[in-house]
Amino acid sequence: MAAALIPALAPDQLHLLRLPQGERVASAQEEVHQAVRQSFLQGAVGLECGDWLLRLPDLRDLQNLLQRHGLELRRVHSLCPGTLVAAAALGLDHGGSLPVNRASGKAATSAGVDPLTVHRGTLRSGDHLHVEGSVLLLGDVNPGARISAEGHVLVWGRLRGMAHAGCGGDRSARIVALQLRPLQLRIADAVARGPEERPPAGLAEEALLVDGTIRIDPASPSWPLPQ
Amino acid sequence: MTSTSPRIILICSGKGGVGKTTLTANLGIALARLGERTAVLDADFGLRNLDLLLGLENRIVYTAQEVLAGTCRLEQALVKHKLQPNLSLLPAGNPRMLEWLTPEDMKKIVALLAERSDYVLIDCPAGIEDGFRNAAAAAREAIVITTPEVSAVRDADRVIGLLNVQGIQPVQLVLNRVRPRMVASQEMLSVEDVTDILALPLLGLVVEDEQVIVSTNRGEPLTLQSAPSPAGQAYLNVAQRLRGEDLPIVDPSKEPTGLRARLKRILTKRLF
């Protein structure tokens, strides 16, 4: 899994470049290269390093790499003190993890609490939003767009694109939307095509895995929202 | 001189063949007729068509390329329209030179045009690659044009996402080539289906009209005519709405059908 480059929602915000957490399969440079290679974005970027240790030469490499793709490294977020020191030495704006992700630290996960990322705005065709915990999207997922999460996928809007819950293999993950009309649904390793007929208007629905197949039910009012 | 700053509008679609160039030509003429000093810039220089639609192909001597190189002045490169002197065309380049244009070049050209215009319309090439990026570099606002087809709407959606990332605001929508009968019989996406997905303010609705093909081949945009055909009238309305006039948009598929309604329509048309 490559690093995720998440576009800023407003012109005065930073784009967010998030390094993958957990298993390391490539260097940070390769991860970032993968993420920016095909990207259109230009402008200032905040780098979310999580627990990666990036020393000064690494950060400088990343800075140059981003610059070649028209992006400017403006800010570094990290849980690792070594990385913050390096960022400070380069004169970059730096700080701890982002507020939405602070809850997603290891401690929270081990306590059985799902971390939740809130994303505001509609995902349009070609966009892909991936988060590590659960995701709450305030907006629509348009046809051709993808939303994926290791936990639950909650869409406060119309889900008409592709959704993947439980990317990491969590078979209890669910997909909930105010209007569930996806092209395709995936939960863990199960795949289902979206329903052909139009869903009943004004009825939120959820998809969950029952006996290895994806089933769509009216959304349960007692939905266990992640804390 | 006007006090307000010139409006620099990108006309784009993502998918090819949905009517970007036709809209640019007709909108350019319509704005010129309404008294606006309008410049149209053909940013699709690889497959240059805007000059054909405006009937100005044989008058092009220089392009923006020569202006930037300092070989000629902007006034020499601008081609004034024969009948609407308020409208001038600037081709961005020569189809044989594919590599020269950068976003920086584009900004320079548009800044030059903006000095002497109320409206600068940029005709964007199809696709979302370098050509689109160049064309979008200098734009302040955008009109996305699409047809009621799944593929065109999908591509428009992608383009809108890219425009949002670049901070281009406002982005408005023109829905082209609507066939009211097919919409009414649910064989074609309806206006709501499209605006539902794209979630943009609708600037205009253009019905399918054979006269568009005739006018394209003649190099005389529909908006030149004093009594334009349905599509021509729709383009005129787009121009009026763009200037801030509050004209209601009539969905042709929702108009009452049947003998009585048709009779009534004919009568009111003849009377007023």
Confidence of residue B141 (pLDDT cuts 50, 70, 90): very high
Which residue has better confidence, B148 or A29? B148
CA distance B178 to chain A (A): 21
Decide if B149 touches A, using CB distance below 8 A. no
The shortest CB-CB distance from B161 to any of A42, A126, A143 is to A126
Contact B165 A140 (CB under 8 A): no
User: A26-76: per-residue pLDDT in tens?
Assistant: 888 888 888 887 777 788 888 888 888 888 888 888 888 888 888 888 888
**What confidence score (pLDDT) does residue A111 get?**
37
- Domain ranges, ordered by start, for chain A: 4-97, 111-218
Asked which of A81-95, A153-167, B86-100, B255-269 is least confident by mean pLDDT, the reply is: B255-269
The pLDDT value recorded for residue A112 is: 45
Contacts of B161 in chain A (CB under 8 A): 124-127
Mean pLDDT, residues A119-135 taken together: 92
Judge whether residue B250 has pLDDT over 90: no
pLDDT band at B255 (very low <50, low <70, confident <90, very high): low
Angle among Cα A182, A185, A186 to the nearest 5 degrees reads 160
Angle between helices B130-137 and B103-115 (to 10 degrees): 40
Please count the structural domains in chain B: 1
Q: Is B267 exposed, middle or buried (0-12, 13-18, 19+ CB in 10 A)?
A: exposed
Distance CA B247, CA B216 (A): 27
Nearest C-alpha of chain A: how many angstroms from B227? 40
- Residue B98 in any domain: the answer is yes
Contact A125 B155 (CB under 8 A): yes
Q: Do A142 and B157 touch (CB under 8 A)?
A: yes
pLDDT at position A224 is 58
Please give the C-alpha separations between residue A221 and each of A152, A172, A187, A215, A218, in angstroms, as whole numbers: 15, 17, 21, 17, 9
Which pLDDT belongs to residue B115?
Answer: 95
Confirm or reject contact between B140 and chain A (CB < 8 A).
no
pLDDT bracket for residue A171 (50, 70, 90) = very high
Residue B51: is its pLDDT beyond 90?
yes
- The verdict on residue B73 lying in a domain is yes
- Judge whether B1 lies within some domain: no
- Which chain A residues touch B130 with a CB distance below 8 Å? none
Q: Is the pLDDT of residue B109 over 60?
A: yes
Rounded to the nearest 5°, which phi and psi values hold at B38? Answer: -120, 135
| CATH of residue B175 | 3.40.50.300
Q: What is the pLDDT confidence band of residue B47, given thresholds at 50, 70 and 90?
A: confident
Buried b (16+ CB within 10 A) or exposed e, A113-127: ebbbbebebbbbbbb
Q: pLDDT tier at A103 (50, 70, 90 boundaries)? A: very low
Least confident stretch, A114-118, B47-51, B64-68: A114-118
Contact state of B158 with A8 under an 8 Å Cβ cutoff = no
- Output DSSP code: residue B259: H
Please name which of B1, B239, B243, B31 lies closest in space to residue B115, comparing C-alpha atoms.
B1
- Please state the ipTM of this predicted complex: 0.76
**Closest residue of chain B to A145, computed from CA coordinates:** B158
- CB of B145 within 8 A of CB of B13? yes
Tell me if B128 and A40 make a contact (CB, 8 A cut-off). Answer: yes
Confidence of residue B204 (pLDDT cuts 50, 70, 90): very high
Which comes out higher in pLDDT, residue B69 or B13? B13
Q: What value does the mean pLDDT take over residues B47-68? A: 91
DSSP-based three-state secondary structure for B138: coil
Q: Tell me how close the Cα of B165 comes to any Cα of chain A, in angstroms.
A: 7
Query: In chain A, whose CA is at the least distance from the CA of B155?
Result: A125
A139 in B contact zone (CB under 8 Å): no
Contact A11 B167 (CB under 8 A): yes
Pairing mode of beta strands A162-165, A146-149? parallel
At residue A58, φ and ψ (nearest 5 deg) are -60, -50
- Which residues from B are below 8 Å from A8, CB to CB? 165
Please indicate whether residue B207 or residue A54 has the higher confidence score (pLDDT).
B207
pLDDT tens for B171-191 read 999 999 999 999 888 889 999
Average pLDDT in the B39-44 region?
94
Q: Which residue range is the domain that position B205 belongs to?
A: 7-271
Q: What angle do CA B179, B272, B253 make, to 5 degrees?
A: 15
| Chain A residues closer than 8 Å to B154 by CB | 125, 143-144
Residue A220 predicted with pLDDT over 50? yes
Confidence class of residue A82 from pLDDT cuts 50, 70 and 90? confident
Mutate to test the interface with B, among A5, A125, A160 (most CBs of B within 10 A): A125
Q: Shortest Cα distance from B161 to chain A (angstroms)? A: 6
Q: Spell out the alpha helix ranges (H) of A6-131.
A: 28-37, 56-68, 81-89, 99-102, 106-110
Please report the number of interchain residue pairs, chain A to chain B, with beta-carbon separation below 8 angstroms: 38
pLDDT reported for residue B124: 95
Q: Which CATH class is domain A111-218?
A: mainly beta
pLDDT band, residue A101 (cuts 50/70/90): very low
For B39-106, give the secondary structure using H, E and C.
EEEECCCCCCCHHHHCCCHHHCCCCHHHHHHCCCCHHHHCEECCCCCCEEEEECCCCCCCCCCCHHHH
Compute the average pLDDT of residues B243-269: 74
Q: For chain B, what percent of residues have pLDDT higher than 70?
A: 91
